[in-house]
């Protein structure tokens, strides 16, 4: 079946540095991908919609200058957390819809756990 | 705007007992409904989904859910739970098959031996 991968699976960084997270659709093309954030013991909150070839659409309250999204190709979206701070520590999950498949319409990546010291 | 309510934050059942997790949604048209399960520290696994047709949906791991438009509900059920079912369960709604998914706050299921 269709698979979405994320890299890295976990990352630890110092406060003030930037971190890039990749989301790849491995055997299908995705013109749209979604980025979610999940704090411990909480639900997934949609951050933004990544659109191939155009600007991302951010949910209300999400700082677009802090969370840079680039959908460079039909199989890759990246989320860069700029000038990361401890409050950005979270579990980041991406998803991609696979058009035309019968089994599942949204494929979720395994997530990236970010810890900012 | 779409929204999903899972009224139970925690549910505890004995192994072998039946289970029902509640989910209510708010959406004007016919929603696309999902149930996902997440084990600690893990990603999401789709249990089942409803787009149209038969309102009783069968999923993986012996789970089923019933869409009730009159009650705006999509409750998840399992006749007999196993210890391995202990996890966080999320109900979610989307506007269409490929659109963003809005998640409920989740219900944590605990299983008593």
CB-CB under 8 Å, B105 with A43:
yes
Task: Give B15-74 pLDDT, tens digit per residue.
Answer: 999 999 999 999 867 789 999 999 887 888 899 999 888 999 999 999 999 999 999 999
A53 Rama sector, left if φ>0, alpha if ψ -120 to 50, beta otherwise? left
Distance, in Å, from the CA atom of B44 to the CA atom of B80, rounded to the nearest integer, reads 22
Contacts of A106 in chain B (CB under 8 A): 34, 46, 94, 98, 101
At residue A8's C-alpha, the angle toward residues A56 and B90, to 5°, is: 65
With a cut of 70, say whether residue B97 has pLDDT above it. no
**Between B94 and A47, residue with greater pLDDT:** A47
Residues of chain A falling short of pLDDT 70: 1-2, 99-105
Nearest to A104 among B46, B100, B106 (CB): B46
């Amino acid at each position: 079946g269709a698979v979405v991968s994320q890299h890295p699976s976990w990352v630890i960084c110092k406060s003030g540095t930037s971190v890039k997270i990749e989301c790849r659709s491995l055997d299908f093309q995705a013109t749209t991908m979604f980025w979610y954030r999940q704090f411990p013991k909480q639900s997934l909150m949609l951050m933004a919609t990544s659109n191939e070839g155009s600007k991302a659409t951010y949910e209300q309250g999400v700082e677009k200058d802090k969370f840079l999204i680039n959908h460079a190709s039909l199989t890759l979206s990246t989320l860069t957390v700029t000038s990361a701070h401890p409050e950005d520590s979270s579990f980041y999950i991406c998803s991609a819809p696979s058009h035309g498949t019968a089994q599942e319409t949204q494929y979720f990546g395994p997530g990236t756990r970010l810890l900012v010291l | 705007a779409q929204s999903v309510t899972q009224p139970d934050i925690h549910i505890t059942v004995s192994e072998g007992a039946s289970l029902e997790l509640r989910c209510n949604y708010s959406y004007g048209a016919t929603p696309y409904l999902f149930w996902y399960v997440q084990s600690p520290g893990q990603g999401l696994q789709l249990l089942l989904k409803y787009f149209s047709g038969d309102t009783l949906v069968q999923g993986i791991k012996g789970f089923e859910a019933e869409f009730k438009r009159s009650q705006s509900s999509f409750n998840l059920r399992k006749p007999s739970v196993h210890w391995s079912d202990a996890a966080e369960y999320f109900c979610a709604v989307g506007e269409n098959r490929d659109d963003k998914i809005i998640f409920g706050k989740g219900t944590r299921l605990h299983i008593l031996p």
